[in-house]
Structure 1
Amino acid sequence: MRLSRIKKALAHGVPVFVFIVLVGSSAMASVGSYCATADLVEGDLRRALADTIAAKGAYYAANDTIRTFRGLQAAAGGNVVMRVDDATFRRNIASGRLRESAYLQVSIVGGPGSGVGPAVACGGGIATDAVVLRSADGASAVALRGCAGCSAASVLAMSDQRLPLALFAAALLWAFGCAAGRRRASLSRARAEAYGGLELSADGALFVDAAGEPVRLTPMQHRLLAMFFAAEGHSLSHREICDALWPKKPDASDTLYTLIRRLRCVVEQRSSLRIESDRGRAYRLTDR
């Protein structure tokens, strides 16, 4: 009994476990691909920023440029962060899909008598660490950061999701296959058994004839006829019947004879079946 329960639990648990493993693997592969792509994007931005600083760093750190930024700060009454759509920076971006949303973030982060503070983070998207360039006189500094205004959905679209999609499709196919298999098994169990013009309902509660009319049987007659339907070759021994119907009765031969005689009349009237006896040692339900 315990082994049967274990097998039943495994039959239900293993398909669910496999489905969870496939879905979990798909999610992990998707996140891994997303993170790898985000790292590639950031690396592309870092390389482009380094090339841009090599080409135009002196321009951004020039006193005139810093003086312009300070004027904007004074007008705004606070720190100013500039978005600069630098053509050189964009040309240095390797990814064509990333190039259109790439820009430089520029801010003044120091002044006379003060240290160089941190750059202000990009508003969303992906950004590199700030690179600080000091002015020629060393009194001020400008921070440059390479940014890409791409959303998480954009990064996901750029990532390779073939493996995650394949795993997710496998999970769906597995779930569909398991559901279809269970449905087929359920239909197979629910399918009524028919023999010789009599049909036993799916729940085993009712016999109907060829016209679809219920066959009236006593509880004992119904049980015996159901045993005939379930038995291999529709054959039952005397002992099998007595042990199943009257387990506590020492000798149920007379009772069995009466039950067989009455059931035979009903069966032969409502179907093409008949009950044959092998000298009282066994009985068989046959189709005439």
Structure 2
Amino acid sequence: MNNIDRLHSPKVMKDILSKYGFRFSKGLGQNFLIDGNILDKICDGINLGKEDEVIEIGPGIGTLTQALAERSKKVVAIEIDKKLIPILGDTLSSYDNVEIVNSDVLKLDLNELIEEKFENKKVKLAANLPYYITTPIIMKLLEDKVNLESIIVMVQKEVAERMQASPGTKAYGALSIAVQYYCNPEIVTIVPKNVFIPKPNVDSAVIRLDVYDKPKVKVKDEKLFFNVVKGAFSHRRKTLLNSLSASGIGVSKDQIKDMLDNLGIKENIRGEKLSIEDMGRLSDMIYELNNK
């Protein structure tokens, strides 16, 4: 492969795929990006500089990897599909700052990988993931408190809107709070479906998640907090009082009513009206009641 070949070029991509007899896997949800402007926006979106070190999840044939490698100090790319490993060895052979790891990121200890490959420095993470697995991977990164400065990912447009949503909006829900507990989300750009091979069914968005050093709210029991959040959104047509009383969090309907009164929250309010701070205060009151 020539140094000047751009992997996002449809012709270059088709030639590579033909050379290796590669077929897209529906099971792995593979869609390869063919727009260099979007690659630039991803790199710009995480302020990628020459001293930055990056983990990439799902490099495919190396389209985004190439852009990351040219603008950063080091890239470690994690690819689950064994059939893509020899292709990546070819397409990225000109880049001595790229290392490919053949592994399932959901089974990988990323903190251990960062310690080994990056001397435990905070790194940036970029991913263009199959949409069915995006949310589980993002939540694993956040819940495992992986040593990351920021995450930039391509997700379904609707999912990006849910991650960034504010209380009281239609898109606001448990995912909004889960993401915003750990980081500040910002949509970088909307990506039309016609810039991928093969073309997906929906438009996408690039979203950056700037990871907090500490969670946005301090709670007495993190597991209980997320159970309260899950309960609050488990029946979106029900009031918060009815949703929580049916969620099995260990407090009665009357006790929840008293807590809402103490917090100045109307009992007929729905979960989507509560801020992350409201959820934190409510979960702490439940914790205190359960630990008297």
TM-score range, shorter chain: under 0.3
Higher helix share: 1
**TM-score, normalised by the number of residues in structure 2:** 0.25
| TM-score, structure 1 normalization | 0.25
Q: Look at both structures and tell me which one has the larger radius of gyration over its CA atoms.
A: 1
